[in-house]
């Protein structure tokens, strides 16, 4: 009874949220070195330096095999400036100045901080909008969601955007609830921060407007003040701020044209013919089944309309086939927040129905255990998680991309560094500009200077959708790896030794061929 009374205090519930968020951050910091940089690292690293007015030193580009489009030419693309700047600032602080972290960890720690802060934001939002148990369950669901857990370590675009999206939605909800001038200013500033993180947040005003039941003048002024604040932050970062702004909608429509997408055993081309149900389908197969079940229950428990709108409105854009989408759920990662919230509402409704506190406590810890076990089993490749609807990662192999970000190149190159002779010629088929950040100095000048067949060792990421684009199909089918980075027996990255004679050509373990590179 004393514990219940203590927990019923709102101040204690807030303290619990702070302690949980800080504890989660410490957990992620302890494992941060297990994760590498991603395919998009140089694009946003150089853009961040450019936006901060810092020149790109020669040592940052020397002997790096960039692919098209070169990150040296993409610094003015209309990604949110805050998204590119923040991890560069943490890189400068923790690596260049203090030398407390390795270069990649110094860059990624800002992403970790934003992702964990987002989980805390969801907790405090639900603490106000629902109740303490629901907030606690939502915290657990989002914190242990496998793909979000993995993305939180190195996805500089979609994780900060999802967290900023959540902040802006919460602050608008508070404006509607309390209707004070300070809430109007804070909510408008929240949208400004979100908008300057990534364009997905343009959905926020639509969600906000559709959620209104009363049209108070002060609340309506948000729809003027919020864009104004966003522009005030946006303008100083660009030479032609309004030109970049005008180009923004078109850019995100053509950003991934004809990029291969594997979905339900078929090949599609981004921005051309990806099915409208891709987001819902991918969420269904990459969300742990307990969370998925509670989400469907929660949908029928009348969750606050703002959570429903937060989930469905961002996905509505994919009803247009010309909208580009690749890489699993990351392009719409903002919806895992309301998904976790609705699932928490569903779970709490079941727990309230059971009434027996001992049974509820057992169920809670069973869910906690099962979700934690998934993270441990997949570590550090949580973005390769697939649930039982497709047979897990083993069932997804050959049907979906197992990795798409290039982060596991860190583990592959660590093996190369420890095992190959001096001056070996290494060919890295995909994300070579990530791999070179980890490779031994004597191997750097020779990296990707020869074709796969002419190199000493070859590293190939298991991004099946790119096998044809990078022309590795024949090589893969006629060579046997000497080492494989894998999870549960499924390859993540292969390493080949060309001193070993080729084998008899195998049959592909996938169906179909790439329809996109011929378009």
Residues 104 and 250 placed together within one structural domain of the fold: yes
Residue range 255-299, pLDDT digits in tens:
888 899 999 999 999 999 999 999 999 999 999 999 999 999 999
Domain membership flag for residue 392: no
Total domains present in the chain: 2
What is the mean predicted confidence (pLDDT) over 240-268? Answer: 88
Task: Provide the domain limits for residue 493.
Answer: 409-497
Compute the half-sphere exposure of residue 409: CA atoms within 13 Å on the CB side of its CA: 28
Domain membership flag for residue 273: yes
According to DSSP, the β-strands at 490-497 and 260-263 are: unpaired
Residues 340 and 462 placed together within one structural domain of the fold: no
Which H/E stretch holds residue 459? strand 457-461
Residues 26 and 146 placed together within one structural domain of the fold: yes
Q: Determine the pLDDT at residue 519.
A: 44
Residues 187 and 274 placed together within one structural domain of the fold: yes
Residue range 143-189, pLDDT digits in tens:
999 999 999 999 999 999 999 999 999 999 999 999 999 999 999 99
According to DSSP, the β-strands at 457-461 and 490-497 are: antiparallel
Domain membership flag for residue 505: no
Percent of the chain with pLDDT over 70: 98
Residue 422 contacts residue 439 (beta carbons within 8 Å): no
Which of 166-170, 338-342, 502-506 is least confident? 502-506
Residues 490 and 371 placed together within one structural domain of the fold: no
Residue 430 contacts residue 470 (beta carbons within 8 Å): yes
Q: How confident is the model at residue 253 (pLDDT cuts 50, 70, 90)?
A: confident
Number of residues written out for the chain: 519
Q: How confident is the model at residue 3 (pLDDT cuts 50, 70, 90)?
A: low
Residues 129 and 206 placed together within one structural domain of the fold: yes
What is the mean predicted confidence (pLDDT) over 135-145? Answer: 99
Residues 151 and 220 placed together within one structural domain of the fold: yes
Residues 146 and 264 placed together within one structural domain of the fold: yes
431 — alpha (psi -120 to 50), left (phi > 0) or beta? left
Give the chain's mean pLDDT: 95
Compute the half-sphere exposure of residue 19: CA atoms within 13 Å on the CB side of its CA: 7
Concatenating the DSSP letter of every residue in 493-516 gives: EEEEETTSPP-PPPPPSS-S--SS
Domain membership flag for residue 170: yes
Residues 170 and 262 placed together within one structural domain of the fold: yes
Domain membership flag for residue 247: yes
Residue 399 contacts residue 509 (beta carbons within 8 Å): no
Task: Give the separation between CA 120 and CA 114, rounded to whole angstroms.
Answer: 10
Residue 111 contacts residue 82 (beta carbons within 8 Å): no
Residues 473 and 349 placed together within one structural domain of the fold: no
Give the pTM.
0.96
Residues 224 and 342 placed together within one structural domain of the fold: yes
Task: Give the separation between CA 519 and CA 516, rounded to whole angstroms.
Answer: 5
Instruction: Assess whether the previous peptide bond of 69 is cis (omega < 30° from 0).
Output: yes
Query: Residue 457's beta-bridge partner residues?
Result: 426, 497
CB atoms within 10 A of CB 99: 9
Residues 444 and 352 placed together within one structural domain of the fold: no
According to DSSP, the β-strands at 266-269 and 260-263 are: antiparallel
Domain membership flag for residue 516: no
């Amino acid at each position: 009874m004393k514990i219940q009374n203590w927990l019923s205090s709102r101040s204690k519930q807030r303290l619990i949220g702070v302690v949980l968020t800080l504890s989660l951050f410490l957990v992620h910091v302890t494992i941060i070195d297990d994760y590498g940089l991603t395919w998009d690292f140089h694009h946003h690293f150089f853009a961040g330096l450019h936006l901060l007015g810092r020149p790109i030193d020669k040592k940052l580009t020397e002997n790096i095999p960039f692919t098209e489009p070169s990150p040296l030419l993409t610094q003015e693309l209309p990604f949110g400036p805050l998204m590119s700047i923040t991890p560069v600032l943490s890189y400068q602080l923790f690596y260049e100045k203090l030398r407390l972290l390795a270069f990649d960890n110094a860059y990624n720690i800002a992403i970790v901080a934003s992702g964990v802060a987002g989980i805390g934001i969801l907790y405090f939002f639900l603490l106000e909008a629902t109740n303490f148990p629901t907030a606690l369950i939502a915290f657990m669901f989002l914190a242990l969601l496998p793909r979000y857990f993995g993305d939180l370590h190195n996805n500089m675009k979609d994780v900060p955007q999802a967290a900023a999206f959540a902040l802006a939605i919460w602050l608008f909800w508070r404006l509607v609830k309390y209707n004070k001038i300070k809430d109007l200013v804070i909510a408008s500033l929240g949208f400004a921060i979100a908008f300057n993180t990534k364009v997905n947040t343009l959905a926020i005003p639509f969600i906000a407007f559709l959620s209104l039941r009363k049209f108070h003048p002060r609340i309506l002024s948000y729809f003027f003040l919020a864009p104004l604040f966003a522009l005030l932050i946006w303008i100083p970062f660009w030479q032609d701020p309004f030109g970049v702004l005008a180009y923004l909608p078109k850019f995100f429509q053509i950003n991934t044209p004809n990029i291969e997408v594997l979905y339900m055993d078929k090949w599609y081309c981004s921005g051309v013919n990806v099915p409208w149900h891709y987001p819902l389908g991918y969420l269904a197969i990459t969300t742990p089944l307990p969370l998925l079940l509670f989400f469907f229950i929660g949908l029928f428990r009348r969750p606050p309309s703002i959570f429903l709108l937060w989930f469905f409105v961002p996905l509505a854009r994919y009803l247009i086939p010309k909208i580009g989408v690749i890489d699993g759920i990351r392009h719409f990662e903002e919806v895992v927040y309301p998904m976790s919230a609705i699932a928490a509402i569903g779970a709490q409704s079941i727990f309230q129905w059971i009434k027996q506190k001992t049974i509820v406590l057992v169920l809670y810890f069973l869910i906690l255990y099962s979700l934690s076990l998934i993270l441990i089993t997949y570590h550090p490749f949580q973005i390769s998680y697939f649930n039982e609807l497709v047979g897990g990662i083993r069932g997804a192999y050959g049907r979906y991309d197992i990795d798409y970000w290039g982060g596991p190149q860190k583990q592959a190159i660590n093996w190369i560094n420890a095992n190959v002779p001096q001056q070996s010629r290494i060919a890295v088929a995909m994300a070579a500009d990530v791999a070179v950040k980890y490779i031994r100095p004597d191997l750097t000048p020779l990296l990707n200077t020869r074709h796969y067949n002419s190199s000493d060792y070859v590293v190939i990421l298991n991004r099946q959708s790119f096998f044809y684009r990078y022309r590795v199909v024949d090589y893969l089918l006629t060579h046997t790896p000497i080492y494989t980075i894998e999870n549960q027996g499924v390859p993540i990255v292969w390493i080949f030794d060309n001193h070993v004679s080729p084998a008899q050509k195998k049959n592909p373990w996938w169906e179909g061929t790439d329809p996109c590179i011929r378009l």
